[in-house]
Structure 1
């Protein structure tokens, strides 16, 4: 069975005149990434490989989360296909994942992640919030054959005690 962890980047700052890809996280986004990682570490599955969008806010979120869960960063890559807002590029990326990995985490953006969480999961999610995580399990052994799966868990910062 394949499992996918979708995590949207933390709250970003608009205080700087930088390109969209270079926008940093706000302090609130950093704190939320730590909170979600702490919750995930308690009972989340062991991730085989992780990927992030090259956007600063997604990459920073991924590093906070992955370090907090004691993930081996040798099993991490940045991929331009995750800098996607529609979901089409992310969909293709996931369906091309190497089948040696059963549990993969990806860090990226909305609207793509909300759309895909609703396409692939069995729970309607109005909006995956910043630093929100959605864990979906598929009854498939080949990434190219995934379709609707089971939403195993959602972890949203607003639901965690701060």
Structure 2
């Protein structure tokens, strides 16, 4: 049995508000892109059965918009404060600590950590996971999340809003 990880960067956020980084909301493009990308994910062959998000406003809002399209109750979204401003080592700790009852998990967070994580897990050279970008990494022959480590994943699917439907 394989494990599947969807790494999803928060949708486009608004810089015009006089709020700290953590509290920045989505802008209109973000509110447009997140449901569209969630619909693309809903039509994809593999769906996440668990959503985990940074508690930052732009990330949790993105996760909620995805949950709505994926038929997952928003209250089932798990937040983890370690995701905000995390680098790959911290994100890997979160992944390694996932409950093995879940075979497919979506992780909503921020750059540069998410792009660095994709490159670490799949031994890739992805320049940038754009806002609302989705990367599906599959870990073949991994039965326990604690086994996930660098270079053992395969980048199966990489989608971004600018790719179109």
8 Å CA contact 2:85, 2:110 repeated in 1: yes
1:145 equivalenced with 2:147 (yes/no): yes
* 1:85 Cα deviation from its structure 2 partner: 3.8
Using the TM superposition, give the Cα deviation of residue 123 of structure 1 relative to its aligned residue in structure 2, in angstroms. Answer: 4.2
Ranges of 4+ aligned residues in structure 1 off by more than 3 Å: 72-75
Residue 161 of structure 2 is matched in structure 1 by: 157
Contact in 2 for aligned 1:6/1:113 (Cα 8 Å): yes
Task: Give the Å deviation of 1:74.
Answer: 4.9
- SS where residue 65 of structure 2 aligns? helix
Q: What is the total number of aligned residue pairs between the two structures?
A: 161
Q: TM-score, normalization: structure 2?
A: 0.91
Q: Alignment partner of 2:43: what SS?
A: helix
> Is 2:137–2:153's contact at 8 Å kept on the other side of the alignment?
yes
**1:119 counterpart residue number:** 120
1:16-35 paired onto structure 2 within 5 Å: 16-35=17-36
Which residue of structure 1 lines up, in the alignment, with residue 73 of structure 2?
Answer: 72
List alignment gaps of at least 5 residues for structure 2.
none
Shift of 1:141: 0.7
TM-score, normalised via structure 1 length: 0.93
Whether the aligned pair in 2 keeps the contact of 1:35 and 1:160 (CA below 8 Å) is no
Q: Give the whole-Å Cα distance in 2 for the aligned partners of 1:144 and 1:106.
A: 16
Could you say which residue in structure 2 is the equivalent of 1:60? Answer: 61
Q: Give RMSD over aligned pairs.
A: 1.4
Q: Which deviates the most, 120-129 or 141-150?
A: 120-129
Higher mean C-alpha deviation, range 134-143 or range 72-81: 72-81
